[in-house]
């Protein structure tokens, strides 16, 4: 969607959201992905370590199967949760596009999101 179209939509909106609310919610959504991805990565590493440990200690295949199946179920549930978060995020974006914040194109992942705030401010001054 063009910036002009976004601005037009925002100007006509009956729903208004403050900039603070927009940035707060965007940060929370971004943080939720980070935290989910961190726990998913941790659990995958732990699962791999369990497999290595099972082999090292000579765990019987049927016992290992039960353990590995539990880890797989746990990881699958985390992936389902991430998918649900993505769906909720997309719904929230659809709603935001009907508010005065529709003209914002940066959302949760602005070009500055990967930088610490002090670094982003410095880069903005240079630009």
Expressed as residue numbers, the domain containing 91 is 3-126
Model confidence at 3: pLDDT above 90: no
Distance of alpha carbon 5 from alpha carbon 9, whole angstroms: 6
b/e map 16-34, b = 16+ CB within 10 Å:
ebeeeebeeebeebbebee
**Bridge partners of residue 99, in order along the sequence:** 15
DSSP one-letter code for 15: B
Total domain count, the chain? 1
Q: Answer for the pair 40, 78: CB distance below 8 angstroms, yes or no.
A: yes
Between 19-23, 49-53, 91-95, 99-103, the lowest mean confidence (pLDDT) is in 99-103
Distance of alpha carbon 55 from alpha carbon 70, whole angstroms: 17
Place of tokens 């927009």: 22
**Bridge partners of residue 15, in order along the sequence:** 99
Model confidence at 29: pLDDT above 60: yes
Q: What pLDDT digit, counting tens, does each position of 101-113 carry?
A: 887 766 655 544 5
At a CB cut-off of 8 Å and minimum separation 6, what does 64 contact?
51, 54
Give this prediction's pTM: 0.73
Q: What pLDDT digit, counting tens, does each position of 63-114 carry?
A: 999 999 999 999 999 999 999 999 999 999 999 888 988 877 666 555 445 4
What proportion of the chain, given as a percentage, has pLDDT over 90? Answer: 57
């Amino acid at each position: 969607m063009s910036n002009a179209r976004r601005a037009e939509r925002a100007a006509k909106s009956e729903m208004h959201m403050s900039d603070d609310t927009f940035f707060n919610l965007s940060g929370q959504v971004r943080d939720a992905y980070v935290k989910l991805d961190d726990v998913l990565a941790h659990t995958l590493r732990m699962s791999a370590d369990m497999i290595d440990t099972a082999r090292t200690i000579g765990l019987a295949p049927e016992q290992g199967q039960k353990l590995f199946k539990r880890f797989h179920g746990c990881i699958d549930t985390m992936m389902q949760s991430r998918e649900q978060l993505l769906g909720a995020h997309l719904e929230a974006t659809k709603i935001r596009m009907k508010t005065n914040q529709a003209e914002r194109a940066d959302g949760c992942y602005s070009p500055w999101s990967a930088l610490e705030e002090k670094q982003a401010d410095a880069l903005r001054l240079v630009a």
